[in-house]
Amino acid sequence: MGGDDNPLLQEMNQQQIHRKMRNRAFLRILVSSVVCYTCFGFVMWNWPAPVVSVNRSKEQSVHRNKDSAFTPVVIVAYMRSGSSLTGNLIQQDPDVFYVFEPLHGLVRGYQKEMLKQFPEFPLLAERPLMVVREEVEDLYRAWFTCDMDYIISETYRYHISFFKLGYKTQLLLKCLENASEIVYHANKMPCTDYLRKLCLESRHRVLKTIRTPLSWFHGLMGEFPNMKIIHLVRDPRAILTSQRRFGECARGKHGGLAGCTKFVCSSLEDDLTTFEMFSKLFPNRIFRLKYEDVALKPIAKTKELYHFLNLKYTDATEKYVENITMSGNNKSFVLDTVVPNSIDMIDKWRTKISDELLETVQTMCRYVMNQLSYYHFIKPL
């Protein structure tokens, strides 16, 4: 009897064929599931990124940037690093249109919308910047080109209460106070044209953010040949001491002290690497500013900053710098827009940092501290 005629072999072959068919069917289902999951994830991680708006905004920016005389500027910083003070120093030049934290509304709006639409997936709202990266770039582009229709068309694209922190954006609030009706829709919001006019008349359009990695500006730096970046850094021990005081490193938030420290140190480390790359790709267009240098020599560093941005440093500017950094004003400002006796503030964190935090930061931020020449200490003061 031939091997092919053996009933047992035939049955075994038949079973093998069935197994192969089942495996192929399972593989098709698995691949389909992965594809569907990937597609769903892609949609979710890029929601809401309006392709039409992005393309429209890019076309507008290309058209407006030909032989343009304006300079887009971004202050890339970290929470409690002195970014509000830096923004105020820069906006003393009347030719500056300054926007405080343009992503705040976008992030908060996204989180609320995601929790509303997908309450069973709360983690989707935990890291919103990764989800809306494309729209982040589109929003920055809109501010640079004064495309107020795009910005105001959705309430999640701005945080109107933050407008009061910009000398020119706060004028929008005054305009709205006199408006008879406020309708938050494109081309219908009162005073939009007024805000656009203030923006277009300003040759320096400055955005301050603590919510964007430095690497995300690569595309915009290529798109806007006049664009400049100020990378503001501060001793991570001072940053985390202040963040902890404001509840940012609580046990149930950001993974507690270790998670909070890891996030800050990782962000700084990534941005330091990007800074070196940008310095080669875009020479003379990126500037590192240390908060400690501003506190130690506020007038000299402000002059250096103004020179980098090609701003006009006047007697009025110097008087302002003196008043907010050396006046001895004892008022407490949450956003650090005023630094009384700034020299005394440089190491003030050493009297407040705990042994645990000092050891944690100096261990996890060792590379960053070495790169930025911050000395290690054995114990707090």
Q: Which domain holds residue 290?
A: 71-95+207-381
- Looking from the CA of 78 toward its CB, the CA atoms found within 13 Å total 29
- pLDDT attached to residue 114: 73
Note whether residue 45 is domain-resident. no
Q: What pLDDT is stored for residue 124 in this prediction?
A: 62
Question: Could you tell me if 182 and 234 lie in one domain?
Answer: no
* pLDDT at residue 1 tops 50: no
Q: Say yes or no: 107 and 219 in one domain.
A: no
Residue 105: band (very low, low, confident or very high) from pLDDT cuts 50, 70, 90: confident
Burial bucket for residue 7 (CB in 10 Å: 0-12, 13-18, 19+): exposed
Kindly indicate the confidence band of residue 115, based on its pLDDT and cuts at 50, 70 and 90.
confident
Whether residue 34 is predicted with pLDDT greater than 60 in this model: the reply is no
Structural domain count of the chain? 2
| pLDDT score of 78 more than 90 | yes
**In the chain, at which residue ranges do the beta strands (DSSP E only) sit?**
71-76, 96-100, 204-209, 228-233, 286-290
Residue 38 or 274, more confident: 274
Q: In this predicted structure, which of 127-131, 234-238, 272-276, 361-365 has the lowest mean pLDDT?
A: 127-131
User: 95: number of CA atoms within 13 Å, CB side?
Assistant: 14
* Residue 144 pLDDT class (50, 70, 90 cuts): very high
One domain for residues 340 and 357 = yes
What's the mean pLDDT when you consider all of the chain? 78
Which has more pLDDT, 174 or 194? 194
Is the pLDDT assigned to residue 32 strictly greater than 80?
no
Is the confidence at residue 84, as pLDDT, over 50?
yes
pLDDT at 158 over 60: yes
Residue 141 lies in a domain: yes
**CATH number for the domain harbouring residue 301:** 3.40.50.300
d(CA 81, CA 235): 8
Q: What pLDDT band is residue 248 in, cutting at 50, 70 and 90?
A: confident
DSSP per position, 126-141? TSHHHHSHHHHHHHHH
User: Among 19-23, 197-201, 209-213, 376-380, whose mean pLDDT is lowest?
Assistant: 19-23
Cα dihedral sign, 258-260-264-269? positive
Q: Is the pLDDT of residue 324 over 80?
A: yes
Residue-wise pLDDT for 35-50, tens only, equals: 343 343 433 333 333 3
Decide: pTM greater than 0.85: no
Instruction: Place 67 in a pLDDT band, splitting at 50, 70 and 90.
Output: very low
| pLDDT beyond 50 at 76 | yes
Whether residue 138 sits in one domain with residue 287: no
How confident is the model at residue 253, as a pLDDT?
Answer: 65
pLDDT tens profile 191-229: 888 899 999 999 999 999 998 999 999 999 999 999 999
In a domain, 56, yes or no: no
User: With bands split at pLDDT 50, 70 and 90, how would you rate the model's confidence at 308?
Assistant: very high
Give yes or no: residues 158 and 279 share one domain.
no
Confirm whether 250 is domain-assigned: yes
> Is 284 or 159 the better-scoring residue by pLDDT?
284
- Identify whether 59 is part of a domain: no
Q: What local confidence, expressed as pLDDT, does residue 186 receive? A: 41
Summarize the confidence of residues 353-372 as an average pLDDT.
95
Q: Say if 332 falls within a structural domain.
A: yes
Q: Is residue 7 part of a domain?
A: no
Please state, as a whole number, how many other Cβ atoms lie within 10 Å of the Cβ of residue 223.
17
Is there a single domain that holds both residue 218 and residue 317? yes
Pick the last residue of a domain from 161, 187, 202: 202
Which of residues 143, 174, 202 is at a domain's end? 202
Judge residue 3's burial from the number of C-beta atoms within 10 Å of its C-beta, 0-12 exposed, 13-18 middle, 19 or more buried: exposed
pLDDT band at 120 (very low <50, low <70, confident <90, very high): confident
- The Cα–Cα gap between 14 and 8 comes to 10
What Rg value do the Cα atoms of the chain yield, rounded?
A: 26
| Boundary-marking domain end, from 146, 175, 202 | 202
Q: Are both 251 and 239 inside the same structural domain?
A: yes
Residue 170 lies in a domain: yes
